[in-house]
Structure 1
């Protein structure tokens, strides 16, 4: 089984896309995913599946569209990919609530940062399939617009770290299950 983090777009943010996390867990379980756990009410799920990431995303997006009556995008990353995102954080000494990762479906265009509008003191770095943003003055007052990120979904580094820890728990559980207690 592969462990995944699933990050939904525009769920329970600013009064849009209401989806109780209990319903999300039920949907995921009904789709055959195992060990489904959610984290905070903004559409973060960790789960395990025999399916490839694209199949996980496709099944969940189809079910979410049935539920919401509109498309709800999902970004799916393996545990190793999430660990790599955390490890590649270009702002490791910044408080986790001031550094964001915008998860994308594909690598960001090379000119993504040249097309940014409304930048003040924000710092941005392109990742493999992410854009990292540091908001020194906080995100609430920022006017930053990143066109390349319009179809992505953002999580702060605290949330990324928590999701990685949750995924690590799956691996720890697997290690303990594999031990022969009579050896």
Structure 2
């Protein structure tokens, strides 16, 4: 099997003192699973690694199990390869170069999403905020940032994300993951 470079997105770690996963220990854990060129980005749950075994889903399941065994709690994990991450940046429906990074976010989903999942959201009531769907992803334009976003509140409701893992990253992190997976 060919070696590919991946990013692992761990949901909800190191937030408010909960689910602490030190990045050095995460790197060691990934290396112990047989992955190479392991690096982490920030403290909020991004790791980049090279692997010659598995695919997105099996690698995510492997890491989920290893984190639970090592740290004693469950963490949702999404794994995506470099080509997917690059396509997310390349197909952004918003003018990313003209926006501040805090205004643009991507929510990565563990599986496909379609418009029906979001039918209950009154998009007009949230303007000028907008969202658009991509490949297992949602692009959110929030001019005042995620913390003040009414639309983000609607998108985070359990019924919207039912049956899927969803984790959101700001545009700076989205772009940085492309760079890091390209270099590995």
Range of TM-score over shorter length: 0.7 to 0.9
Long gaps (5+) in structure 1? 171-183
Mapped to 2, the partners of 1:76 and 1:109 lie a distance apart of 20
| Cα distance, 1:15–1:109 mapped onto 2, change above 3 Å | farther
Mapped to 1, the partners of 2:88 and 2:172 lie a distance apart of 12
Conserved in 1, the CA contact under 8 Å of 2:131 and 2:141?
A: yes
User: Is the aligned partner of 1:45 residue 2:47?
Assistant: yes
Conserved in 2, the CA contact under 8 Å of 1:20 and 1:41?
A: yes
Long gaps (5+) in structure 2? none
User: Could you report, residue by residue, the CA deviation over 1:63-117 in whole angstroms, capped at 9, with x for unpaired residues?
Assistant: 1111332321111111000000111112222212211100001111331332337
User: Could you report, residue by residue, the CA deviation over 1:17-63 in whole angstroms, capped at 9, with x for unpaired residues?
Assistant: 21111111011011111000000001101100011222211211101
Conserved in 1, the CA contact under 8 Å of 2:5 and 2:182?
A: no
What is residue 138 of structure 1 aligned with on the other side?
145
For the aligned residue pairs, the C-alpha RMSD in angstroms reads: 1.8
Conserved in 1, the CA contact under 8 Å of 2:5 and 2:48?
A: yes
| Cα distance, 1:117–1:7 mapped onto 2, change above 3 Å | farther
State the TM-score, normalizing by the size of structure 1.
0.85
Secondary structure in 2 matching 1:19: coil
State the TM-score, normalizing by the size of structure 2.
0.85
Mapped to 1, the partners of 2:149 and 2:62 lie a distance apart of 35
Mapped to 1, the partners of 2:58 and 2:112 lie a distance apart of 20
Conserved in 2, the CA contact under 8 Å of 1:100 and 1:154?
A: yes
Secondary structure in 2 matching 1:145: helix
| Cα distance, 1:149–1:89 mapped onto 2, change above 3 Å | farther
How many pairs were matched up? 170
- Alignment map for 1:27-46 (pairs within 5 Å): 27-46=29-48
Q: 1:85 aligns with which of 83, 88, 91?
A: 88
Conserved in 2, the CA contact under 8 Å of 1:117 and 1:145?
A: no
Larger Rg: 1
Q: 2:105 aligns with which of 100, 105, 112?
A: 100
